Amino acid sequence: MSAVSVKRSTLIGFLGPSIFALLAIGIVPLLYAVWTSLHYFNLTKLKNVEFIGIENYATVLTDSVFWQAMGRTFTLLGIALPIQIALGLGIALLLHQPGLSFLKTLTRLSLVLPMATTYAVVGLLGQVMFNIKYGVINQLLGFVGIEPVNWIGDPTNAFALIIFWDIWQWTPFVALVLLAGLTTVPAEIEEAAKLETKRWYTVLRYVQLPFLIPGLTAVLILRTADTLKLFDMVFTLTRGGPGASTELISLMIQRVGFRAFDQGLASAQAIILLIITIILSQLYIRLLYKEVG
Amino acid sequence: MKLSASLHSVAAAAAIWCLGTTTASAWTLEEAAKPYAGTTVDVVFLLRPGYEAAEAMLPEFENATGIKVNIIKHPYENALGEQVRDFVAGGDLDIALIDLVWIGNFAENDWIEPISKFTSNPDLADPELDIDDFFPLVLNAFGGWNDEVYGLPFDNYSGLLFYNECMLKDAGFDGPPETWSDLKDKYGPALTKDGKYAYALQSKRNETQSADSFARVLWPFGGSFLDENFKSNLMSAESQAGLKFRQDLMQYMPEGIVSYDHAEAVNALAQGDIALLTEWSAFYSTLKSPDTSQIVDCLKIAPEPTGPAGRKPALGGFSMAVAKQADDKEQAAAWLFIQWVTSKANAMEYLERGGVPARQSVYQEPGVAEKYDFVPALVESWQDGVPEFRPRFAEWPEITEIVQEWGTKIMLGEVSTEEGAQELGSRMEAVLEKAGYYDGKKPLAQ
């Protein structure tokens, strides 16, 4: 079968706008960030802009504060993501059971709510709900005789709090993606498997899981990228504190770039973060798709 | 011929003198603003009482001049970033709102005009401007840099000791603590009980940590950020004494004090949860209003306690300066607004609406000290203040980030006061070295 020839003007007409948009909002700013990262570029000292090669990168890579922030970000990812997947899978499996269709529809709708809530609003809600003195959470704990907990002012509790909010907001997303994956399992295969074994785990492992892998890969890539650039919720909830206990990498980049105005250093941090994100995404795709094969 | 020439000279001089006198006596805001009617002036305001007061006064200015003042509101934490981006991009702002620690930055970057450009123009300069009426410390610290005045003080603060007299009386005290050590050793134990705390030191990790918490314990104990050579002074015995004092004092503060910003601290006093609070004078109206405070009848105000080095209260506040990027008409209109809102004539109204003017004359008016009971403490504090309470050079935005991080770590006990001060000092010196203070490229001005 011969390929249909398409006129060049048609190709440009269809692809041009999206290529232009990608260039304007993606590639050009990225190239500018690379250029900035190779310069001493402080917004309040623009008279002193100079090319400094990889000095900003060397500063970032040898800065313990940067790696501590990176460590906190990956700790958040390492704790929140498995919990989101476990809970999301559980919810998806429950919703995949036959019967109670009205309740399931209602549940599916309510699952959208946390995702639809703006990140910054989640942080502000947290400030109010987890306030040590006036927060509703401590009030509820008080009803069962538990002393008020210092949620936001204690470093460990504050970190636990951002993990909690991240799980609250994004478990429904994982659940809905996995539920979509479960609906792609052919009904006859699933029924046959259930006749063969009563163990739900066996059905999950050998029948349903292969169909969940594409969704799971998407979840891993999206949630990893989202967590690495998580900013709004933490900024409005703790602003990275107390101390540096909730200063994730994105907050650190914002602090360096927009509060200390060192755009060169902040750009170098952002480029390194981008490289790490790309490497992780590639790893997910290679490892998981290999398993499917 | 000679006589004729002399007569001509005398006549000309007389005419100029008459003209000058007429111009001076006839100067009115309405006349001065006529060429600029219809001009819009863009300015950043904060979400604080002093700005609400000015906003309420604004219609009077707009009606008199035809100049439109476009207010862009930001919380304090965003105000610097928003303005820096605007000035770097050659944006729309016609007036710079300058925290005293930003003045070096704005002046060195040439973003603002010195006021002499306008005070030397008789068409724009109000003969009643009376620059000497501003508290000298406030004018110098908020609006001055390198012997040049750029901004007029607008939203003016000094640290004051607000206290709940009823709680103090119940605990057997006749008045507030005179010294920081009294606060810790006498008032602390007596007032910290039954879920109430003696004192709160707002210490959230933002400018509050640097200005209201860290610097507040350095100066009264004889410490400072920098020594005379611009090297860190944080390891000195005096600075360490101040920082250790803060650690000891924390036992009498509410749990989680490192997450307290102004709102939380003021609210704690307003709700009767703490007895003493060192806070900016600007929050007087919040604590005195029955809508926002439950301790209106018990509220009293004193100057901040003294330390071994004296009172050295917290000093903060904002000036407004004309932006260089504005065109001539906008600059003139901006100056007229700044001059009007900070004027002697408007100081009383500004005060009555909840602002804190920096005009000495208004506080000498009969009845003011009685009606606004923060006035005597404020006036006293502005005699004892330190302009470099926080260094005002262009590097402060970078340094304050370091102070915020390590200051909070010290409070949380993650590092000792020595470890924290050592780390903070070396990072601070690295910023100053890069800026050129140690190789003579920049004068040691703060």
User: In this predicted structure, what is the pLDDT of residue A195?
Assistant: 86
Of chain B, the percentage scoring pLDDT greater than 70 comes to 94
Of chain A, the percentage scoring pLDDT greater than 70 comes to 97
Does the pLDDT value for residue B19 go beyond 50? no
User: In this predicted structure, what is the pLDDT of residue B16?
Assistant: 44
CA-to-CA separations, B389 to A36, B232, B321, B385, in angstroms, rounded: 34, 14, 21, 8
Does the pLDDT value for residue B25 go beyond 70? no
Domains B15-156+316-384 and B158-315+392-435 share a fold: yes
Phi, psi for residue A229 in degrees, rounded to 5:
-110, 20
Q: pLDDT-derived band of residue A106, with 50, 70 and 90 as boundaries?
A: confident
Indicate the domain borders of chain B: 15-156+316-384, 158-315+392-435
Which residue among B84, B88, B414 sits closest to A243, beta carbon to beta carbon?
Answer: B414
Q: pLDDT-derived band of residue B6, with 50, 70 and 90 as boundaries?
A: very low
Does the pLDDT value for residue B22 go beyond 80? no
Give which of A59, A68, A259 to mutate to test B binding, by max B Cβ within 10 Å. Answer: A259
Considering only residues B354 and B21, tell me which one the structure prediction assigns the higher pLDDT. Answer: B354
- For residue range B384-429, list pLDDT tens digits in order: 788 888 998 989 988 999 999 899 999 999 999 999 999 999 999 9
Interface of A to B at Cβ within 8 Å reads 43-46, 65, 132-133, 150, 152-155, 158, 238-244, 255-256, 258-262
Q: pLDDT-derived band of residue B368, with 50, 70 and 90 as boundaries?
A: very high
Options 3.40.190.10, 3.30.1330.60, 3.30.365.10, 3.40.50.300; CATH of B15-156+316-384: 3.40.190.10
Identify the CA nearest to B52 among candidates B437, B397, B414, B353. Answer: B353
Give the gap in angstroms from C-alpha A260 to the nearest C-alpha of chain B.
4
Are the Cβ atoms of B88 and A255 closer than 8 angstroms? no
Domain count, chain A: 1
Give which of B205, B207, B415, B431 to mutate to test A binding, by max A Cβ within 10 Å. Answer: B205
Q: How far apart are CA B174 and CA B40, in angstroms?
A: 53
The CATH number assigned to the domain holding A89 equals: 1.10.3720.10
User: In this predicted structure, what is the pLDDT of residue A130?
Assistant: 93
- For residue range A164-182, list pLDDT tens digits in order: 999 999 999 999 999 999 9
Give the gap in angstroms from C-alpha B403 to the nearest C-alpha of chain A.
11
Mean pLDDT lowest among A156-160, B13-17, B82-86, B287-291: B13-17
Mean pLDDT lowest among A91-105, B58-72, B166-180: A91-105
Does the pLDDT value for residue B29 go beyond 70? yes
Size of interface A-B (CB pairs under 8 A): 75
Q: pLDDT-derived band of residue B357, with 50, 70 and 90 as boundaries?
A: very high
Identify the CA nearest to A64 among candidates A252, A199, A250. Answer: A252
Average pLDDT of every residue of chain B? 91
User: In this predicted structure, what is the pLDDT of residue B11?
Assistant: 45
- For residue range B110-162, list pLDDT tens digits in order: 999 999 999 999 999 999 999 999 999 999 999 999 899 999 999 988 899 99
Cβ contacts of residue A117 below 8 Å, gap of 6+?
Answer: A125, A169
Q: pLDDT-derived band of residue A199, with 50, 70 and 90 as boundaries?
A: confident
Peptide linkage before A242 cis (omega within 30 of 0): yes
Asked if the structure places residue A17 within a domain, the reply is no
Asked whether the CA dihedral B228, B232, B234, B236 is positive or negative, the reply is negative
Q: Is A161 helix (H, G, I), strand (E, B) or coil?
A: helix
Q: How far apart are CA B160 and CA B374, in angstroms?
A: 8
Does the pLDDT value for residue B364 go beyond 60? yes
User: In this predicted structure, what is the pLDDT of residue A292?
Assistant: 47
User: In this predicted structure, what is the pLDDT of residue A91?
Assistant: 94
Element (H, E) at B320: strand B315-322
Average pLDDT of every residue of chain A? 90
Asked if the structure places residue A83 within a domain, the reply is yes
Contact A273, A228 (CB under 8 A): yes
Are the Cβ atoms of B256 and A239 closer than 8 angstroms? no
Q: Where are the alpha helices (DSSP H) in B27-124?
A: 29-33, 49-65, 76-88, 103-108, 116-119
Query: Domain of A162?
Result: 58-292
- For residue range B216-230, list pLDDT tens digits in order: 999 999 999 999 899
Are the Cβ atoms of A260 and B398 closer than 8 angstroms? yes
Does the pLDDT value for residue A289 go beyond 90? no
User: In this predicted structure, what is the pLDDT of residue A290?
Assistant: 58
Which value does ipTM take for this structure?
0.76
Owner of token pair 């820096």: B84
Give which of B88, B412, B437 to mutate to test A binding, by max A Cβ within 10 Å. Answer: B412
Asked if the structure places residue A31 within a domain, the reply is no
Are the Cβ atoms of A43 and B84 closer than 8 angstroms? yes
Interface of B to A at Cβ within 8 Å reads 80-81, 84-85, 88, 105, 109, 204-206, 254-260, 273, 394, 397-398, 401, 405, 408-409, 411-412, 414, 435
| DSSP for A84-109, written as a single string | HHHHHHHHHHHHHSSS-HHHHHHHHH
CATH architecture designation of domain B158-315+392-435: 3-Layer(aba) Sandwich (3.40)
Q: How far apart are CA B6 and CA B18, in angstroms?
A: 18
User: In this predicted structure, what is the pLDDT of residue B394?
Assistant: 87
